[in-house]
Amino acid sequence: MNKPDLKADTPPRGAPAAPGSFRKLSETLFDFGEPLLSQLGSDAPLPAVKQAMQLVITAWNAGAMALPEWGEPELLHQLEQMLVQPTMASPLCGLLKQMLVRRREQLSLDLRTVGEWSLLPQADAGWVLRCAAHLPAGPTHARPARLDASAGAANPPDAAWSV
């Protein structure tokens, strides 16, 4: 299978989008979902890629919501319980388990969750992910600046991925 190549124009940031995160959420999701997304062939149809991205986003959001700042671990608990059922044994479950462990061990400082999102085909046979990032409510989680103060460049909410 082909490994995905991330392509994104990432302007310098004036402030990180979330504590410990300096990348756009769409880029982070492509990286986080790489174990699953890399299983898709370069000719995978849009519906298959969207289904795979929905699984990536579900795992991402479940991990984020379980963090103390969100305080809602129910989704993660339900997902973990579903993945250990004997009837759910499959390579896909193994990949999702790996992703959840990675989320907990390496990406636990990223508090962002994914709201609305879309996946669009790109002219070079890749994909562009556009997504809205949400942070938990509270005084310690101010929204990131939309413009980089030094360059005046907007932070676009999308990243491109191609196989």
Host domain of residue 129: 5-162
Longest CA–CA separation in the chain, Å: 54
Backbone dihedral region of 41: left (phi > 0), alpha (psi from -120 to 50 degrees) or beta?
Answer: beta
> What is the reported pLDDT for 156?
44
Instruction: Tell me which residues of the chain have a pLDDT lower than 70.
Output: 1-22, 125, 139-163
Give me the number of domains the chain comprises: 1
Question: Whole-angstrom Cα distance, residue 37 to residue 24?
Answer: 18
pLDDT tens-digit series, residues 19-46: 554 689 999 999 999 999 999 987 889 9
